[in-house]
Each structure stands twice: as structure tokens, then as C-alpha cells.
Chain A
Amino acid sequence: MNISHDLGVWIAALMTLFILSFLYKDNPLYKLAEHLFVGISAGYYIVLNFWTVVMPNLVDPLVRSFTGRDPVTHAVVQQVGGPFQGTIGDYRGWLLIPALLGALLFTRMISKIEWVSRWSLAMIIGVYAGLKTTGFAQGDLVAQAQGSLRPLWTGELWSSVNAIVFTIGLVTSLLYFFYSREHKGALGVAARTGIVFLMVSFGAGYGYTVMSRLSLLIGRFQFLIEDWLGIR
């Protein structure tokens, strides 16, 4: 055993044990770690978005376009055209609009004027509704339908059986979600067959979820054993 002498490793190990103590029962050490984690996370997200988005994508281009100088080195920046003569990827003064929309988001904290934040939300919702509609249509609908159009007879018995089973599974699972008609008769038989495939897929998903959760525990134990206690 070669216990670590690094203060940081000890702090990490203690926090890990504080959180794991919840398994015995809820206790002050767990509550302390939990609140500390939430506070640090929230603070980290603020700092991260400030230094990685607000500064380089908003403030720096605005400073460059209005002062003609690089905000970090203060060197003169060669710019063709004025602050509102942007091109693709170089929007200069036009970035005042997202700056304003971003600032208006904070009106959500003041109930009398929180309706103003709807403008910022409308912009975000419009962008993402558009992106998701086309993304899902192309990536999940068209491409998947295209991928399903495979020959049922492949030349080999086993792979042909698989192709037929796959197609039956796909069609019957899709029909299960068709709620415009009551699941009776042929549609009922198809829907009940679809349920079989859906249950198998949920079971497979459960199996993989178990694997995922256990992996996270293995990772923490590896840290405690190797980095903290220096056992292996």
C-alpha cells in the first residue's frame, strides 16, 4: 500500500467517501458534499461560459470592430469596412443583437418584466426548432427508411432469415405506434407482434443500462484503490 501524500487526492477521496456514505443513510457529511458540489458546478458553468463563449465569441469581436485593436495584445487590427460591415463568420457590430438578447434573458428574474425574456427565448426556440426538424427528418427518418430497404434474400439462409425477422420487427413495431385505428384484427396481430420486439429492445436497453451504472462505480473504486490508497 502506498497511500497518496497529495492533499488534492485526499480531498477528492474524502468527498467520494462523504457521498458514498449516503448509501448507509442520509447524513450531514453527504449533505455538505452535495451542496458543495452544486455550488461549485454552478460557479464553474458561469466561469466556463464567460471565458469560452462570452469573451471570445462576443466581447472580443465587438472590441475589435469598435476600437480597431486586438483585446488581448492591444495590437492594431486590419479591418476592411466599418463595424457593421460584417461577412460570414465576422459579424462585428451585429453581435450587439445577441448581446442584447442575452442580457434580456436576465429579466426572467424580475417578475414584472419577465415577459421581455420571451424575445430571447423565441430566437433560441426558432433556431433549434428549425435545426431539429431538418436534422430528425434527414438523419432519423429518411436515412433510416433508406437503411431499411435491403433485399430480404441475401443469398445465404441465415442472413436472409435475419433480414426477414428484422423487417417483420420494424414494420410491426411501427404499426404498434399507429393509434388512429383500434388494434383489432390484422392490425391487432401486428401490434402484438410489435410488442414482442419492443419488449426485447427494452430488455436489451435495461441490460446496457446496468452495465453503464456499474462502470461508473468501478471507476470510483479504481480511483480510491489506485490513486488514493496506492494498492495496485
Chain B
Amino acid sequence: MNLAALEKLDRRWLFLIVGLLVLGPLLKPLGLPLGTSKPVKMFHDAVAGIPDGAIVLMSCDYDPGAKPEVVPMTRTAFRQLMEKRCRVVITCLWPGGSSLVDQTIESVANEMRAEGHDLVYGRDYVDLGYKAGYEAVMVLMGKGIANAFPQDQRANSTASLPLMRNVRDYSSFAMLVNISSGYPGTKEWVQQVNSRFHLPMVSGCTAVSAPEYYPYLQSGQLKGLLGGMAGAAEYEKLRGEKGAATKGMDAQSLAHAFIALCIIAGNVLQWRKRGARS
């Protein structure tokens, strides 16, 4: 294949190669070993350090667009909290996400019930659902969670739920576990809740957002950080689970290697072309 042909390569060939490199390992896993990074260990240890039975706020601020990255994190974090007999209050600030969040939480709860755990909605966990308003909701919850959420995701009155009788405002929670994919998300929770109400928090986020949150991790505003599917996979490994994120890492590896090759190849072609011209 000569340089000119490569330069004019129809991008649909690249699409096909990416598609095959992602599909292949999903059909036939390679079993590449997965490590664990420090931010993920910090997330896991921070959640493990919550006193058993404490009430935790879990804000799942995402929609189906980020599902492969954040749903595995939600599942693993919720399971870890439930195994510690923590009571969890779930909220969602993204309009397209509340149903997905509810389905994810209920799916984990059902799996755990099948394993023999006694989990009751309303007593052990509550999904307050979606509320519009971005930062205004976060600060509104500071004066009373039920003020912002008079009813839950399932149209039950919040006041009627046994768990919510023990929840007044942020002081009722031991920690905020935030799983987010953009705005509003981790940044806003750090600015409005962690800074104002001093609620300790950990974050799971999409890989696009993760680099932006490293300063919060270093300053102690975040006690732990999961970044993208890799972070979710490492968290699953620490928890001894083999979820969707772990299954996707082989495909992720091959695709990354291909993208790296594309960057190098594209530039080598460019330099050779410039060299040939001069």
C-alpha cells in the first residue's frame, strides 16, 4: 500500500477496524490482567470505612448516554453499601437518567435478595428520583431533603418512607457517593455541598471528566475517584466481581492500541510526505 493511498484512505475502513477490534475481544476474551490504581483503592477504602448501618446519600447524575461507564460503578458501589447494611438514599439530577438509575438499583437489590439478603425498599434504600434545578436542588437539600423531594421516584410520599424519618438534611448522611457523567455532577457537589456542608464525598465519573477531578482528590475534597470504564473495572476487581466493565477491558485495550497506532501512523505519513516534498 503506497503513501498516497494510505493518506486518502476512506475513513470507513478505519470504522470497520475499530468495530472489529471492539467486537473481537467481546466474543473471545483475551484475559489481559487488570491492575488497581490508587484513586480506585481510595474510593473502595473510603466506602469500606463508612460505619456499618450508616445512612449514605448516593447521587447518580447520568443518563443512558454514559451507561457503560457509570452503571457498573453504581452497581458495585450500591452492593458494597448494602453488604455493609448501610441505608442508601438515591437521587438523580439528570432528566434522562432517573429511570435507568432506578432499574440499576433495583436490579442489584433483586440479585442480593436472591442471595438471601433481606432488603426492603423504603427501609433499607429509597430512590427519590429526579429533580430539576441543578445546584439549586443541592443547596435546597441542605435545609431539608424532603423539601426538595416531597415524593420519591415511585410517587410515594417521602414522609411515609421509614428510612426518610431518620433523614433530615446533609448532617444525616455519613458520606455522599456521587456517580456522574457531566453537569450537574461531581464538580457541583464539591462546590455546593462538600464546601458548604462539609459532607465527605467520593466520586465515580466518566473518563472525560476524570482528569478534571484529580485536583479535588489531591486537596482532599474527594476521598476517592473512579474514572471511566477502567476505574469501574478496577473497582469490580477489588470487590471480587466480574461485571460489564471488567468484560469490556480487553476490547478497550485493543482499541486504545489501535488509536495510538493511528496517531503514530498518521504523523509518520505526514513527515514522509514533507520529507519527499523537500
**A interface, CB within 8 angstroms of B:** 23-24, 41, 44-45, 48-49, 51-53, 56-57, 60-61, 72, 88-89, 127-128, 131-132, 134-136, 138-140, 143-144, 146-148, 201, 204-205, 208-212, 214-222, 225, 231-232
Contact = CB atoms under 8 A, between A and B. Distances in A.
Interface of B is mostly: helix
Interface stretch (B42-50, B105-113, B136-144, B267-275): B136-144
17 contacts: A44-B96, A48-B130, A51-B155, A52-B131, A131-B135, A131-B192, A139-B195, A146-B219, A209-B207, A211-B229, A212-B207, A215-B69, A215-B252, A222-B26, A222-B247, A225-B23, A225-B26
A89 to B, nearest CB: 4
Nearest to B147: A89
B259 A60 contact: no
Nearest to A25: B12
Given A52-B98, A143-B195, A211-B229, A204 B211 contact: yes
A135 B135 contact: yes
Given A49-B132, A60-B150, A89-B146, A138 B196 contact: yes
Nearest to A147: B219
A168 B227 CA distance: 26
Contacts of B259: 210, 214
Interface in B232-255: 244, 247-248, 251-252, 255
Given A89-B144, A219-B67, A214 B255 contact: yes
A146 B218 CA distance: 11
Interface of A is mostly: helix
B195 A222 contact: no
B190 interface: yes
A61 B228 CA distance: 41
A193 to B, nearest CB: 19
Contacts of B155: 51
A23 B20 CA distance: 14
Interface of B: 12, 15, 18-19, 22-23, 26-27, 65-69, 95-96, 98, 129-136, 139, 143-144, 146-151, 155, 157, 187-188, 190-192, 194-196, 206-208, 210-212, 215, 218-221, 227-230, 244, 247-248, 251-252, 255-256, 259
A206 B266 CA distance: 16
B132 A24 contact: no
Give 9 closest A-B pairs by Cβ, nearest first. Answer: A219-B68, A147-B219, A139-B191, A135-B191, A89-B147, A212-B207, A215-B229, A138-B195, A218-B248
